[in-house]
Amino acid sequence: MFCNDDQKNLIVEGYASVFNITDRDGDVVSESAFYNLTNQPLPFFLQHASEAPIGSIIHARMDDYGLFVRGRVDSNLPLGSAVIEWFESGVVLGFSVGFWNVRSELVGQNRYIRKAKLEEISLVNYPSNNMATISKFWFEGVNLFGCS
């Protein structure tokens, strides 16, 4: 699929958080929760481990549905290259958000996150929010017309 030692960064995109969905932990994230979303790059980790960077989030935006992200998995990082191999093998991962709870309220069994400081995005085996899925992925800089 790749020519010689072509660098092959992986681009993944989808919703890292879907609003107003009760996740496996009983959390429900509100539409306005991530107040600190800016144009600054967000860390991109594997399984929320800060010692396990896999690349960077290159685009993030909120809409009525949730927090949409696009991330670059860097093939030059040891775990980045492992994640790329997993995708090539058909392993499916999902998104998860790491945040500090600033303001929430408990309603019955659920914690409604009203304000949260977004800290990082991770690829995980089992997303807490089962709607936090990768909708599209591709390899950056791949020559689809063969090698010369």
Residue 144 resides in a domain: no
Rounded CA separation 124/76 (Å): 20
pLDDT at residue number 142: 60
Q: In this model, does residue 4 exceed pLDDT 50?
A: no
pLDDT at residue number 47: 94
pLDDT at residue number 143: 55
- For 72-109, how does the pLDDT look when each residue is reduced to its tens digit (9 = 90+)? 999 999 899 999 998 888 887 899 999 999 999 999 99
pLDDT at residue number 123: 95
Residue 2 resides in a domain: no
Q: What is the CATH number of the domain that holds 131?
A: 3.20.16.10
**Which residue range(s) make up the domain with 95?**
10-139
Contact 48, 119 (CB under 8 A): no
Mean of the per-residue pLDDT values for the chain?
88
Residue 145 resides in a domain: no
Residue 99 resides in a domain: yes
Residue 90 resides in a domain: yes
**Phi and psi angles of residue 78, each rounded to the nearest 5 degrees, phi first:** -55, -45
Q: In this model, does residue 145 exceed pLDDT 70?
A: no
HSE (side-chain half, CA atoms, 13 Å) at 46: 17
> How much is the pTM?
0.87
- For 53-77, how does the pLDDT look when each residue is reduced to its tens digit (9 = 90+)? 999 999 999 999 999 999 999 999 9
Residue 3 resides in a domain: no
Name 14's Cβ contacts closer than 8 Å, sequence gap at least 6.
68, 69, 95, 132, 133, 134, 135, 136
Residue 48 resides in a domain: yes
Rounded CA separation 58/117 (Å): 18
**Phi and psi angles of residue 142, each rounded to the nearest 5 degrees, phi first:** -90, 130
Candidate from 1-15, 39-53, 107-121, 127-141 with smallest mean pLDDT: 1-15
Catalytic residue positions, numbered: 48, 96, 120
Rounded CA separation 10/141 (Å): 9
Residues pairing with 56 in the sheet: 43, 72
Q: In this model, does residue 1 exceed pLDDT 50?
A: no
Domain count, the chain: 1
Residue 124 resides in a domain: yes
